[in-house]
């Protein structure tokens, strides 16, 4: 079922809220990153750096997705392939993929001592490259590429397991690691919860205004989880 005009308006304002949250976190972490850099040497694979890059790519891509969703296409698939619309979606998807892939590599290196050789991160980054160059001629091609990106990005759900492992292994990091695990799980649930794949069956099952209510709840959960991940990353000692 397609989104109604009222739901599109609601989604638009909630997306603005998420954009503000993401860029606010990026600014806060940028200040903390600068302060930390003055006190000690930072490596590109430092966990704090990884989270900062991850949130920065999410913030940039969300602005591009916002423009694609609400101004270029109005969330209507019939407009996805018109003109240069697809370019914005490709770039936004690629930026997100590189951010997720980079975070996966950093987590692998810092928590697992690179036991996975960064494979998960490289897979997601490969998907990001695919989003830039995969030929799209029909909506089926679009949905195929979107599904590939979703499957590749799903590897991020393993991150909470890494944090739980760290919390059990290193008692001094336990509280922060568990917070990061909870934040990661909530973010994954919230991101999935506003997809049409989930909302459609939910509306058929419950009815009423459940779609709008659920969209609001999931947006608040996503904002809260991002704040938890961002601020907790400044306290993790690895």
- Average pLDDT value over all residues in the chain: 87
Contact 172, 213 (CB under 8 A): no
In percent, the amount of the chain with pLDDT more than 90 equals 42
pLDDT, tens only, 105-118: 999 988 888 888 98
Comparing 138 with 215, the larger pLDDT belongs to: 138
pLDDT at 60: 97
Is the pLDDT confidence value at 52 over 90? Answer: yes
Residue 77 DSSP label: G
Q: What is the pTM of this model?
A: 0.89
Q: Where are the domains of the chain?
A: 5-232
pLDDT at 140: 92
pLDDT, tens only, 206-229: 776 777 788 889 899 999 999 999
Q: Which two tokens stand for residue 7?
A: 């739901």
- Cα gap 170→168, rounded to integer Å: 6
DSSP states along 1-67: -PPPHHHHHHHHHHHHHHHHHHHHHHHHHHHHHHHHHHHS---TT-HHHHHHHHHHHHHHHHHHHHI
- Cα gap 131→153, rounded to integer Å: 12
Beta strands of the chain (E only): which ranges? none
- Environment class of residue 137 by beta-carbon count within 10 Å: exposed (0-12), middle (13-18) or buried (19+)? exposed
- The class that CATH gives domain 5-232 is mainly alpha
| Side-chain-side CA neighbours of residue 160 (13 Å) | 14
């Amino acid at each position: 079922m397609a989104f109604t005009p009222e739901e599109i308006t609601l989604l638009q304002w909630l997306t603005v809220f998420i954009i503000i949250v993401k860029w606010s976190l990026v600014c806060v972490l940028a200040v903390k990153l600068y302060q930390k850099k003055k006190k000690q040497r930072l490596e590109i694979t430092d966990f704090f750096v990884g989270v900062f890059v991850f949130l920065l790519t999410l913030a940039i891509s969300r602005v591009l997705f916002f423009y694609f969703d609400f101004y270029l296409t109005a969330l209507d698939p019939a407009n996805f392939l018109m003109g240069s619309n697809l370019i914005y979606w490709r770039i936004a998807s690629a930026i997100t993929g590189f951010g997720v892939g980079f975070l996966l590599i950093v987590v692998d290196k810092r928590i697992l001592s690179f036991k996975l050789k960064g494979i998960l991160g490289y897979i997601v980054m490969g998907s990001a490259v695919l989003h830039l160059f995969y030929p799209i001629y029909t909506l089926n091609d679009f949905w195929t590429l979107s599904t590939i990106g979703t499957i590749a990005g799903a590897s991020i759900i393993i991150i909470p397991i890494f944090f739980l492992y760290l919390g059990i292994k290193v008692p001094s990091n336990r509280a922060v690691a568990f917070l990061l695990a909870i934040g990661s799980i909530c973010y994954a649930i919230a991101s999935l919860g506003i997809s049409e794949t989930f909302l459609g069956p939910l509306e058929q099952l419950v009815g009423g205004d459940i779609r709008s209510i659920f969209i609001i709840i999931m947006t608040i959960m996503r904002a809260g989880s991002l704040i938890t991940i961002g601020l907790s990353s400044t306290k993790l000692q690895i």
